[in-house]
Amino acid sequence: MRIFLTLLFASMIHAQASLIDYDHPYHSTYTNKGIVVSQNYLSSDIGVEILDQGGNAVDAAIAVGFSLAATLPRAGNIGGGGFMQIYIEKDKTILSLDFRSTAPALATREFYQELKSQDDDVTRKGYKAIAVPGTIAGLYKAHELYGSLPMETLLQPTIDLLTQGVPMTQDLYHAINIGKYISDDPESHEIYKKNLEPNSPLFIEDLKQTFIKLQKFGQDVFYRGEIADLIEKEMLKNDGLIRKSDLENYKVNITQPIKTTYRDKQIFAMGAPSGGGVVILTALNVLENFQLSGLAPNSARTYHLLSETLKYGHQNRSKLVGDPGYFDVPYDMLLSKKLAKEKAKKISLTSATNPKNINKFGDRINSSYKESKDTTHYSVVDKDGNGVSVTYTLGYSFGSGVTIPGTGMLTNNQMNNFAHNYGLIDSYFRSSSPANKLEPSKRPMSTMTPVMVFDSKGKLELITGSPGGSQIPGVVFQVLVNYIDFDLDIGEASMLPRIHQDSQSTKLNYEKHMSSDTQRILESYGHNLELSDTMGSTQSIAIIDGVRFGYADLRRPNASVSVQK
């Protein structure tokens, strides 16, 4: 049983006092009503404001998604894309929305290979880095399926916030200051850099007007109307590839999550074009063959097993995960329990496996395939038990750096996430993956994966997810293991030191608050340790006996839990 607080009674000479003590300092916020956990306190409050108006979890998630474009502009977006997982308590429905950005119809593999041979940054910054944005279509599709309040109501809190000005937090000020690509774009520089002051609110009038237009005219103004015209105009002016037809043809995919069983739980994750879900479920399938009950959650042996199983997880996404509209992803093989057991037999309890022996690749490593950590996740549960888990992104921090004039909208750099070396080299590295090669109108693979966990009786027990690029699967995986195997409450499960192990690197990254003894033992096992910055920012909700416990990861500032009173 999870222990949230322990009562200690001390007898004293003249009186008896009741003292409260705690197992750890990472305290969750709990309620039996609606709860929202996001990477910004204002956005979490906006989600609860919608719940207080009678909205459901989907309504709140839509409002939070719009608001983060203002409160967390480096990652929150309407110019990017992502994934949403929805659970409806009444009929036990669970589904996923894929609103991942897509390549423009004019984008070809040969075109980008030629450009990257001259400038490797061409898929990271500027107009050619931008893929067709899907966030607005995704939020509107969620509303069409399960929204209960008018969309105008869900947009209004962000309009109000932009009218008042977004508070310039220390984190926002710092992010803008170090924002690399926004310095190169005249419109972004005007909005974010030119008049930057530590304590002055941020006003983005064009973004406010974009939301007002969405209120009046719906998503068609973005994909077919005035905003689409503005996007095409700037693309033509700056040699970008997106055309109005790309926006008109954009579609949200409604899918079923992929799943596995782990111990007595059911774990639901995002399917392709997410590779993150495959990593998590594969790693869980392999780890299931080991008993962790005799280990401590932060022991060297535990981290060793996490590292070894993550190698196989990342191996599974490297070559065989891509847009399912273009590539038949072999889930039966990737998520096979039998195959996972065979892989588990190859793991030594005291010796690290060299990733080269798993992948059979040579020494040549292409380092240009970089997955950004600048994404964001949020989780929502309403009073009726409906749940929503959302991870979405601009790609790099502030995306491509480009703000489309007249819209206030920052744009993504998701063209960077294709395997641009396909056809140039044949290797086991992701940069040449046949499943993720660039094709017109295709969605690039992503490590983003919102996750939901259900208990043995089919009741929703946990919602979580994280930013972090290639670290996302490992971050979420470790929260799940800490929560399920070690019976930790969601606060402690979130805050234990984390590791990151890819199948394409001999490095085992670790957070600096891991103990030196643990590091020493891992090195004795043959792990090549490398100190990392903090990993991820999980925004989680655990549900125990009808009570919702929310925890906002402390690794990134201004994340917050908001609850209905």
Q: Are the beta carbons of 463 and 451 closer than 8 angstroms?
A: yes
Cα separation of 231 and 187, whole Å?
Answer: 13
Is 375 in the active site?
yes
- Buried b or exposed e, range 219-248, using 16+ CB within 10 angstroms: bebbbebebbebbbebbeeeebbbbbebbe
Q: Read off the tokens for 254.
A: 């409604």
For residues 448 and 536, the answer to whether their CB atoms sit within 8 Å is no
86 and 414 Cβ atoms separated by less than 8 Å: no
Q: Look up residue 456 and give its two tokens.
A: 């043995």
Beta-strand pair 528-531/507-510? parallel
CA dist 386 and 270 (Å) reads: 18
Can you tell me the distance from the alpha carbon of 59 to that of 52, in angstroms, rounded to the nearest whole number?
11
As given in the structure block, the two tokens for residue 489 are 């409450």
- CA distances to 271, 403, 466, 562 from 5, rounded to whole Å, are 38, 48, 27, 21
Which among 105, 162, 99, 103 is positioned nearest to 136, based on CA atoms?
Answer: 99
Of 153, 282, 302, 375, the catalytic one is 375
Cα-Cα-Cα-Cα dihedral sign, residues 416, 419, 421, 422: negative
Q: Report, as residue numbers or ranges, the catalytic residues.
A: 375
